[in-house]
A and B are shown apart, each in its own frame.
Chain A
Amino acid sequence: MAINRRDFLKIAGITTLAGIGGAVGVNLITNKGIEAAQYLEDPKSLKGKRWGIAIDISKFNTPESYQKVIDACHTIHNVPLINNPKEEIKWIWTESYEHTFSSHEYANPYIKEALKKKPFLVLCNHCDNPPCVRVCPTKATFKRKSDGIVMMDMHRCIGCRFCMAGCPYGARSFNWRDPRPYIKKQNPEFPTRMKGVVEKCTLCYERIAIGLKPACVEASNGAMVFGDLNDPNSDIRKVLASNYSIRRKPELGTTPCVFYIIGG
C-alpha cells in the first residue's frame, strides 16, 4: 500500500489526537489519587475526621496577642514579608469586624463599639464544601478525605488563579514574583515556594502528622481551640456548645470550619 506524505501526516495527526484523548480517558478512570503525606503515618499523629478551629475573640486583647499568632505561622511556613499590598502573601492575618463579616455589614450598625473596633484573625476556612477545590483544573488544591484539610500541592499548581477567584474569603495568595528574597530567616523544615503558584494556610498538616497542634493555636495561649468537629467530646465541640459563635459568610453554603466566639 502506497502512502503519500499527505496521508501520512493526516494519520499521524489523528493518532496524536487520539493518543492525547485516550490518555485523558485512562487517567480519569485509573487515577485513584494517593494523598501526599498519608502513606507513612507517625503513631503520634493527631487523629481527627474533621478538623476545625474556634477563635475566642475575648481572649485577644493586645496587638501583641495577634502578632504572636501570625508570626508563629508565617515564620515556620516561610511566608515572605512583602510590603506591597498588591503582592503580599498571607496565611493568617487580621481584618476589622466589618470586613471579616462583610455579609453582616449592613445588618446591625449598633453592635458593641468594642466589637466594631476589634481586629479578627482570618485564615483559610477549610470549608466542608470548598469552591477552590471545585474549580481547580489540576487538583493542585484538594480536600484531604481523612480529615477534611484543604491542601495545596505547590508542585502541581499551574498558577491559573481560578481558586483565588473561587474563594469567597480572600484566603489565597499568589506568588507574583520569587518569594525567597523576602523570607527573613528560612525554616529548613518547611518548603519555600517558587514564583507563579498559589498558597494558603494548610492547617499545619505537617505538625498534625507528628502530634502537634497548628502553630497559631499553640501560640495563642488558649485563645484558639483546635479539634475534631466530628467528635462530640472534643475541646472544640465543648467550647462551641457552651458559647455563641459565628462563621464567615455561612449563606454561601461552603460550611467553614473556622468559628468565631464573639461572646453573648
Chain B
Amino acid sequence: MLETAFKGSRIYWAWIIFLLAIIGIGFIFYLKQFIVGLGVTGMSRDVSWGFYISQFTFLVGIAASGVMVVLPYYLHNYKAFGKITILGEFLAIPAVIMCMLFIFVDLGQPLRVLNVILHPTPNSVMFYDMIVLGGYLFLNILVGWTALGAERKGIAPPKWLKFFVILSIIWAPSIHTVTAFLYSGLPGKYFWMSALLAAQFLSSAFASGPALLILLALIVRKFTKFDPGTEAIQALGKIVTYFMLTSVFFLGLKFFTSFYSGIPSYGHSIVYLYAGLDGYKKLVPIMWISNILTIIALILLVIPQLRKNELLLAIASLCVFVALWIDKGFGLIVGGFVPNSFKQITEYWPTIPEVSISLGVWAIGFLILTILYKVAISIREELGDVDVHH
C-alpha cells in the first residue's frame, strides 16, 4: 500500500520537500545540542523541563484523542464516522512518534536511552509511560493498516481485529492518564499536584485533537477527491464544543481550590502565568492570547448557527488548537517550575536551537501524517470513494 505515497501531485511533493527542509534544519541544530549539551536550550537548574517536554505532553493528548472517532464508530456503530475514522487512527501514529522523539531530544544522554529497558523500574511513572505509548503506537498501526488493507481488497476486516480495536479504545485514555501522573505525583509541585490533572489533560486533549482533525479533514477535502463527510465534521465540532467547555470548567475548579483556600503555594504558579509574580511576567502575554482565543472559540462553537458554518467552525477549531497548545504545550510545564523549591523565580523562554529542533520533530510528525493520509486517500480514490465498510 505504501507505494501510493510515491505518486503525487506537484503540491504534494512541494509539501514533502518543505517538511524535509524543516527536518534538516532541526537535525543540524540537534547535532549542535548533541555536541554542546542541553545548555543550548533555555532550560535551567530551576526550570529543568521546557519546550520539549511541553510538546510531548500536548502530543500525548493529540494521540489519545483518536479515540473520539474510533469509539463512536466501532462501539456505537456511528456510520457518519466511517470515512473519518482512518484519519483519526492515522493521526495517532505520528502523534505518538513525535511524543517519543520529544522525550528523546530532551535527554541529556540520549545514547543511554535503552537503560530504561535494561534497568526497568516499575516505581517510576516513566516506565509505564514507555509501555503505554509503545503499546498505543502498535495498536494504531495494527488497526489502521489492517482495516485499510482489507478495505482495499474489498473484504471485511478480519474478526480478530475487533479485539484490538476495543483494546485501543481502552488504551487511549491510559496514555494521557499516565502522562498526567508524571506530574501530579510530585511532592512540592503544587501547580501539578492535583487529582484533577489527568481529567484536565483528557478534556483538553479531546478538544484539541478533534479540532486538529476537523482542520485536517477540511484540508483533505480541499486538496483531494476524498470527502470525510459534512456530518462527520459537524459531529466532531460538537465533540470539540463539549470538551472545550469541560476544559474551561476544570480550569475554573482549579482556580477555586487554589484561591479560595488561600494557601499561597497553590496559587503562585497560576498568578505567575496569568498576572506575573514579583514583577516576572514573561508568560503573561501568551497566556492571555490563549484566554482570548478560548473565548472566541467558545462563542463560535456554542452558538449552533455559527458552528454549522464550516468556515467559522474551522476558525473555532484553529482557536481551540492554538489556545490549548499555549496552555498545555507551554504554560503548564513551565508554570509548574515557577517559583522554584526555594520560592525564587527563574524565567524560561525557548532558544532558537530549541525551537528549531522542536519544529524539526513536528515536521517529522507531519511527514509521517502526510504519507499515511496519502496512502489512505489514494486507496479511497482507487475505490472511487464508494460507501466504505471500514
Stretch of A39-47, A70-78, A95-103, A228-236 with 4 or more beta carbons under 8 angstroms from chain B: A95-103
Contact B124 A24 (CB under 8 A): no
Contact A176 B37 (CB under 8 A): yes
Given contacts A176-B38, A176-B39, 17 further A-B pairs with CB under 8 A are A28-B120, A31-B119, A31-B120, A88-B45, A99-B342, A99-B343, A103-B265, A136-B121, A137-B115, A137-B124, A157-B112, A158-B110, A161-B48, A165-B49, A168-B186, A196-B107, A197-B108
0/1 string, A131-159, CB within 8 A of B gives 1: 10111111110000000000000001111
Residue of B nearest to A98 (CB): B343
CA distance A81 to B45 in the complex (A): 14
Does A160 count as interface, using CB distance less than 8 angstroms?
yes
Closest 9 CB pairs of A and B: A159-B108, A196-B108, A168-B188, A86-B44, A170-B341, A176-B39, A137-B126, A195-B37, A177-B39
Residue of A nearest to B339 (CB): A102
Does B385 count as interface, using CB distance less than 8 angstroms?
no
Does B77 count as interface, using CB distance less than 8 angstroms?
no
Contact A85 B45 (CB under 8 A): yes
Contact B126 A87 (CB under 8 A): no
For A27, what are the chain B residues with a Cβ–Cβ distance below 8 Å? 117-120
Query: B382 → chain A, closest Cβ, in Å?
Result: 20
Interface footprint category on B: 35 or more
On B, residues with C-beta under 8 Å from A are: 36-39, 43-46, 48-49, 103, 106-110, 112-113, 115-127, 130, 138, 182-183, 186-189, 264-265, 336-337, 340-344, 346
Question: Do A87 and B117 form a contact, CB below 8 Å, given A103-B265, A159-B108, A174-B38?
Answer: no
CA distance A158 to B118 in the complex (A): 12
Residue of B nearest to A31 (CB): B119
CA distance A98 to B342 in the complex (A): 8
Does A67 count as interface, using CB distance less than 8 angstroms?
no
Contact B45 A134 (CB under 8 A): no
CA distance A197 to B38 in the complex (A): 10
Query: B280 → chain A, closest Cβ, in Å?
Result: 14
- Of the candidates A24, A98, A158, A176, the one whose C-beta lies within 8 Å of that of B43 is A176
26 A-B pairs whose Cβ atoms sit less than 8 Å apart in the complex: A23-B117, A24-B117, A86-B43, A88-B45, A95-B342, A99-B343, A105-B343, A131-B187, A133-B123, A137-B115, A137-B116, A138-B119, A158-B115, A162-B126, A164-B45, A165-B183, A165-B189, A165-B336, A168-B187, A169-B341, A170-B340, A174-B38, A175-B37, A196-B37, A196-B109, A198-B108
Does A35 count as interface, using CB distance less than 8 angstroms?
no
Residue of A nearest to B108 (CB): A159
For A254, what are the chain B residues with a Cβ–Cβ distance below 8 Å? 187
Tell me the dominant secondary structure on chain A's binding face: loop
Query: B357 → chain A, closest Cβ, in Å?
Result: 15
Count of interface residues, chain A, beta-carbon cutoff 8 Å: 57
Contact B38 A102 (CB under 8 A): no
CA distance A103 to B116 in the complex (A): 34
For A194, what are the chain B residues with a Cβ–Cβ distance below 8 Å? 109
CA distance A52 to B94 in the complex (A): 49
Question: Do A87 and B45 form a contact, CB below 8 Å, given A165-B186, A195-B37, A196-B37?
Answer: yes
For B123, what are the chain A residues with a Cβ–Cβ distance below 8 Å? 133-134
CA distance A165 to B122 in the complex (A): 18
For A161, what are the chain B residues with a Cβ–Cβ distance below 8 Å? 48-49, 106, 108
For A134, what are the chain B residues with a Cβ–Cβ distance below 8 Å? 123-124
Contact A168 B341 (CB under 8 A): yes
Contact B109 A157 (CB under 8 A): yes
For A100, what are the chain B residues with a Cβ–Cβ distance below 8 Å? 342
Contact B109 A135 (CB under 8 A): no
For B103, what are the chain A residues with a Cβ–Cβ distance below 8 Å? 160
Residue of A nearest to B342 (CB): A99
Does A181 count as interface, using CB distance less than 8 angstroms?
no
For B340, what are the chain A residues with a Cβ–Cβ distance below 8 Å? 170
- Of the candidates A17, A20, A175, A197, the one whose C-beta lies within 8 Å of that of B117 is A20
Residue of A nearest to B348 (CB): A86
Residue of A nearest to B186 (CB): A166
For B343, what are the chain A residues with a Cβ–Cβ distance below 8 Å? 98-99, 102, 105
For A95, what are the chain B residues with a Cβ–Cβ distance below 8 Å? 342
